[in-house]
A and B are shown apart, each in its own frame.
Chain A
Amino acid sequence: MGPAALLVLANLISIKYSNIRKNEYVQGIFIVIGLSWIVLIWISNPQFNNTNNDYWLLWIVSVEIISAIILFSQAYLEQKTIAKILFFLLGASLLLLNEEILEIPNASRTLFIKASGTIVGTIIGFLSGIIIWFYVVQKLHSLEESLDMDKSLTQDERKLLLDKLKNDLEWLEGFEGGDGNE
């Protein structure tokens, strides 16, 4: 809750106090403290009933993987060489947080492999669900027969149509007259 509250505060400051000078520094401090707090929680190895919380570990590892992907993309798209190297090193260091040789608490290769499998599977599942949905809707729309106009009207239809047109014309004339009276 702590890191989330800090990040929400950072967002609120950027929205509500955008005119105040030095606003971005306060916001930046909130973001840095919030993210450091998350890293500290991860390093301190929180336990619930003397066991690790699987979902919390999965969450943090998936945050690391997705952040690394974003940082590597940023490194590729960046123009300046120094910025490229910096982004790449940041991404690589995030990946290395899961290397067991470095003896960081909670670092687990199996968890990293499992989390990457879950991320890829979730993306595939989400895309296939959306594709099936769109395909069904599109296919059912294409099966609909387009409306055909009758070549000739029957006597009753012709009378009905002409009456309708006559009524419409009368309504239009009355509408113009109404405007004039006002």
Chain B
Amino acid sequence: MISNGWKDLREGMVMSNISLYRLVGFVLAPFLILYLFWWSVGEEFNVFFIQLINSAFSTTILTLGIATLCSWWFCLTRSSRINISIYLTMILIVMCFIFQICMSIESIQPSGLYSPVAIFLKNGLESLTISLSVGFLLIIGMIIVKDSELEEE
């Protein structure tokens, strides 16, 4: 289903003469210029990679946690098969274990935080803050798009 959607998107873009790679390049170029300038000035970029690894781990665990809860809910109330819930729970436990091992490495620990639970909670809150900002922009975008559509009508 996902691959079909991706294929449709690519076909649509080809038909409208839009290159996906150019679009990505065009969007990322100003960011890269800004980062290169900051890097040449001597700005530290360690925090970017630390934050990236921590957020990726925390969000994966959060998403899998929500998925596992949903599957248990479907299993207990809608008689869905139990093996999906058990597999997801096992993967979640393994992920938590890997996260615990990774977060004990000092070089990828955020400054001031030492225990994996504290790192997970802080990154979880930060990821939720980012999701809120995306939601906020979606609402604004919807209002503006609706306006322009009404004007066209």
Contacts and interface: CB of A to CB of B under 8 A. Distances in A.
- A complexed with B: yes
Interface of A: 7, 10-11, 14, 18, 24, 27-28, 31, 35, 55, 58-60, 62-63, 66-70, 72-73, 75-77, 91-92, 95, 99, 109-110, 113-122, 124-126, 128-130, 132-134, 136-137, 140
B144 interface: yes
Contacts of A113: 35, 38, 43-45, 47-48
Contacts of B87: 136, 140
Contacts of B6: none
Interface residues of B, number: 60
Contacts of B22: 76
A97 to B, nearest CB: 11
Nearest to A121: B55
Contacts of B104: none
Contact of A68 (B23, B30, B150): B30
B140 A28 contact: no
Contacts of B52: 117-118, 120-121, 124
B72 interface: no
22 contacts: A31-B140, A55-B125, A55-B126, A62-B129, A66-B134, A67-B137, A77-B23, A114-B48, A116-B31, A117-B47, A117-B48, A117-B49, A117-B52, A118-B52, A119-B130, A125-B63, A128-B60, A129-B63, A132-B60, A133-B63, A136-B84, A140-B84
Interface string B94-124: 0000000000000000000000000000010
B60 A129 contact: yes
B34 interface: yes
Contacts of A116: 31, 48
Contact of A59 (B43, B129, B141): B129
Contacts of A77: 18, 23
B67 interface: yes
B50 interface: yes
B63, B81, B130 — which one has the most chain A CB atoms within 10 A of its CB?
A: B130
B44, B125, B133 — which one has the most chain A CB atoms within 10 A of its CB?
A: B133
